[in-house]
Amino acid sequence: MTAAIVADNVSRTYQLDGVSVDALRGVSLTVETGDYVAIVGTSGSGKSTLMHLLGGLDRPTGGTLLIGGRDVARLTPDEMAELRNTTIGFVFQSFHLLARTTAQDNVGLPLVYRGVGRRERRERAAAMLDRVGLGHRVTHRPNQMSGGEQQRVAIARALVTGPSVLLADEPTGNLDSATGQSVLALLETLNADGVAVVLVTHDREVAARAHRQIRMKDGLIA
């Protein structure tokens, strides 16, 4: 079975006002299918940059990065978009839900870019909301839901295209600890069903629940 993501000596250098900033300086790691990895480190350690690369939002400036077996260096912007759509699911700290849109249509959003019709989108979204325990919130808007519920909607959205990897950037960062626990428990259930979970966090307790931890420091794996 091929690994979901393979990074080999990946680096990322930004040009900020003519100054080169090395955010990542040669990182190698493999995310296996069904893996549960926590990436930890202080802010500025490069963990967010790494997550953007692993999610296909950004491209490395050095090294090789394979997502779903495809070398991102060879992909066009459209192919990168397709990769994000089909292979990766994102969960953000601040949920990033569309405010005026129902839970159902938020969850169905990735399917819009797959050309799935509205009826089928809504069916699949409702099924996914049911799976994250929000079967009763289908037509609610984000402002009618609690933080934990909003994050579940975001998780349902990340899963709706059936990706092999879920990338979660501080998914519990905006939640109280009890709600955070239940969100983590949901991610772990999904992981048990076969989705690889990559968790970016600076919370040791959260990180400790993963099968393995990768500690970032100064753009390198410590």
Partner 1 sequence: MRVAEAWRVALEALRANRLRSMLTMLGVVIGVAAVVALVAIGTGTKNQIENQVEGLGSNLLIVVPGRLEAGAAPTSSPLTLDDVEAVNRIVGDRSRVAVTISSGEAVRAGSRTGFASMQGVLETTPTVFVRRLDRGAYLTRTDVSTGRRVVVLGAGVARDLFGDRDPIGRQITIGGVRFRVVGTFEQLGQSLGVDRDGEVHVPVTAAQRLLGTERIDGLAIRAPDRERIGELSAAVVAALTDRHPDTDFSAVTQEQILGVLGDILGVLTGVLAAIAGISLLVGGVGVSNIMLVSVRERTKEIGLRKAVGARPRDIGVQFLLEAVLLTTTGGILGMLLGGTTALLVDRFTPVPAALTWWSMALAFGVSAAVGIVFGVVPAQRAGRLDPVVALRTE
Which residues in the 46-65 window bind partner 1 by CB under 8 A? 52, 55, 57-58
Binding status of residue 110 toward partner 1 by CB under 8 A: yes
Binding status of residue 21 toward partner 1 by CB under 8 A: no
User: Partners of 161 in the beta sheet?
Assistant: none
Considering the complex, what minimum distance in angstroms separates the CB of residue 99 from partner 1? Answer: 9
Considering the complex, what minimum distance in angstroms separates the CB of residue 212 from partner 1? Answer: 25
Considering the complex, what minimum distance in angstroms separates the CB of residue 182 from partner 1? Answer: 23
Q: Which of 109, 123, 130, 188 binds partner 1 (CB under 8 A)?
A: 109
Binding status of residue 92 toward partner 1 by CB under 8 A: yes
| b/e 113-135 (16+ beta carbons within 10 angstroms → b) | eeebeeeebbebbbebbebbebe
Q: Which of 73, 112, 127, 185 binds partner 1 (CB under 8 A)?
A: 112
Count interface residues toward partner 1 (CB under 8 A).
28
User: CA-CA distances (angstroms) from residue 216 to 3, 154, 166, 183, 202?
Assistant: 21, 26, 19, 24, 10
* Rounded Cα distance, 157 and 144, in Å: 17
Q: Which of 161, 164, 172, 191 binds partner 1 (CB under 8 A)?
A: 161
Q: Which of 122, 124, 137, 157 binds partner 1 (CB under 8 A)?
A: 157
Binding status of residue 73 toward partner 1 by CB under 8 A: no
Binding status of residue 117 toward partner 1 by CB under 8 A: yes
Cβ within 8 Å of residue 33, ≥6 positions away: 1, 2, 3, 4, 164, 194, 196
Considering the complex, what minimum distance in angstroms separates the CB of residue 85 from partner 1? Answer: 2
Considering the complex, what minimum distance in angstroms separates the CB of residue 145 from partner 1? Answer: 17
β-strands 196-201, 165-169: how paired?
A: parallel
CA-atom Rg of the chain in angstroms = 17
The DSSP result for 141-203, as a single string, is -GGGS-HHHHHHHHHHHHHTT--SEEEEESTTTTS-HHHHHHHHHHHHHHHHTT-EEEEEES-
Q: Which residues bind partner 1 (CB under 8 A)?
A: 52, 55, 57-58, 77-78, 81-82, 84-86, 90, 92, 94, 96, 98, 100-101, 109-110, 112-115, 117-118, 157, 161
